[in-house]
Amino acid sequence: MTGVFYFYIFVKKLVMYVIVKHIKTKNKKRVPVIILNGHNEIWEFETEKEAEDMKEIFQTNSDSGHVYEVKGI
């Protein structure tokens, strides 16, 4: 072989989204906790819209004053 072949691998940066729950402690501090799925794994969403929709459901159902936010990872 006289030629040199170069192979390029293009890796698309994949962004996933998670929901972070900010829990109020007894001493009025907030502790961030990442929401897990039913298998005790971090619950990841492929689109920000999916994560935002689920965050709104959590926020609406929260009666303990917890705050939820969506983070890209």
| Domains of the chain by residue range | 17-72
Q: Contact at 8 Å (CB) between 53 and 59?
A: no
Note the pLDDT tens digit of each residue in 12-62: 556 899 999 999 888 888 899 999 999 999 999 999 999 999 999 999 988
Residues 19, 51: Cα–Cα separation, whole Å: 7
User: Which residues are bridge partners to 72 per DSSP?
Assistant: 17
Residues 57, 73: Cα–Cα separation, whole Å: 21
Q: pTM score > 0.85 for this model?
A: no
- Token couple for 67: 């705050």
Determine the pLDDT at residue 24: 85
Determine the pLDDT at residue 12: 53
Q: Is 19 exposed, middle or buried (0-12, 13-18, 19+ CB in 10 A)?
A: buried
Q: Contact at 8 Å (CB) between 15 and 68?
A: no
